[in-house]
Amino acid sequence: MFNKNQNNMDTVLEQEVEQELSKNDKFIVENYEILKPKDIREQLNLSLKAYRGRTSSLVRNGLIISKSSQKKTTTTKRKYTNANGVKKAFARTRMIKHIKESGKVGKVLTLPFKYCTFERKLLKEVSPKFTFVGCERDKEIFFMMLATVIHHKLKMECSPFEIGEKIATARENEFVHAILDYCGQLSSCYEDIRLTMERNIVVVGGTIAITLNNRKTVIGGIEDEMNRLNPIGNQEGYAVENAILTFLTKIGGFRYSIEEVMKYSDPKESGRGSNMLLVIVKRLK
């Protein structure tokens, strides 16, 4: 029942954000990294001037990454490919909404990827006073992230190591929010999530956003353990969602609320999308 209602809510919210974009803008966002500009213009019947106007506006809003920035940072080995895309943009919008409502401005722990899209959007839409600790364990991506940080003069301490190292050594209340945008498997990040909550590194009223791959691949791992403890809701297709919600409820106890659960998927160049899950938690006490 909960899952059905949540699905309906997600669809309504998603439609709201998509409605904010015109049909042409949505097409550009989804195809900017895949098609040539000439092909996009032809499909949309846009003049060069009109196309440039739209792409400049989408770059300013953090929905696409300009070709010149892409050239500076593009590599042949692309590990994470979902940075562009309406659905990813929608997930960022939800994280930002909760941050805005919290009223908490200060230092944010984050995984910015090459382009720091989320961080730039947060500075623009909520407050220019945010500062960041940005982690990136992939060396190639790390240097590209550094180039973006320098180019946009972001106030970000950049770490080329596991985010878990920052979490393990952070002081209580050190961060106002933590954006654990892994898009990875729960089995590889649940210890980070546990430490973030148990050590209270985010202030009261602050938020923790977690993104996970919504496909269970490990047998006998954390998902199975959680789903044994709480089999309710562990239906087909809900193994990861049920597991993370059980995990967060057990670790968070009375101190953390679950504010939002949202499924999303982003089309990739191959045309196949990865199913993702966004969960936003708030520290209550």
Q: Which of 29, 135, 176, 208: binder of ligand SAM (CB under 6 A)?
A: 135
Q: Which two tokens stand for residue 242?
A: 């049920």
Binding to ligand SAM by CB under 6 A, coded x per residue (else -) over 245-274, reads ------------------------------
Decide: is 118 part of the binding site for ligand SAM (CB under 6 A). yes
Closest to ligand SAM by CB, 46 or 96: 96
Closest to ligand SAM by CB, 126 or 163: 163
Helix (H, G, I), strand (E, B) or coil at 27: helix
Q: Which two tokens stand for residue 111?
A: 């995984």
Closest to ligand SAM by CB, 164 or 237: 164
Closest to ligand SAM by CB, 138 or 259: 138
Decide: is 136 part of the binding site for ligand SAM (CB under 6 A). yes
Q: Which two tokens stand for residue 202?
A: 């985010």
Q: Return the residues of window 91-110 that contact ligand SAM according to CB under 6 A.
A: 92
Look at strands 131-135 and 202-213 and give their pairing. unpaired
Closest to ligand SAM by CB, 46 or 145: 145
Decide: is 185 part of the binding site for ligand SAM (CB under 6 A). no
Q: Which two tokens stand for residue 92?
A: 């960022």
- Distance separating alpha carbons of residues 196 and 179, to the nearest angstrom: 11
Question: Can you name the residues that pair with 158 across neighbouring β-strands?
Answer: 134
Distance of CA 101 to the CA centre of its chain: 18
Closest to ligand SAM by CB, 119 or 223: 119
Question: Binding-site residue total for ligand SAM (CB under 6 A)?
Answer: 21
Decide: is 141 part of the binding site for ligand SAM (CB under 6 A). yes
- Residue 42: HSE in the Cβ half-sphere, 13 Å Cα cutoff: 5
CB of 189 to ligand SAM, least distance (A): 6
CB of 55 to ligand SAM, least distance (A): 18
- Distance separating alpha carbons of residues 46 and 71, to the nearest angstrom: 24
Helix (H, G, I), strand (E, B) or coil at 169: helix
Stretch that binds ligand SAM, among 29-37, 122-130, 162-170, 215-223 (CB under 6 A): 162-170
Decide: is 190 part of the binding site for ligand SAM (CB under 6 A). no
Q: Which of 65, 183, 210, 281: binder of ligand SAM (CB under 6 A)?
A: 183
Render 36-90 in DSSP notation, one character per residue. -HHHHHHHHT--HHHHHHHHHHHHHTTSS--HHHHHHH--SS-S---SSSHHHHH
Closest to ligand SAM by CB, 112 or 252: 112
Judging by beta carbons within 10 Å of its beta carbon (0-12, 13-18, 19+), is residue 148 exposed, middle or buried? buried
Q: Which residues bind ligand SAM (CB under 6 A)?
A: 79-80, 83, 92, 111-113, 117-118, 135-138, 141, 162-164, 181-184
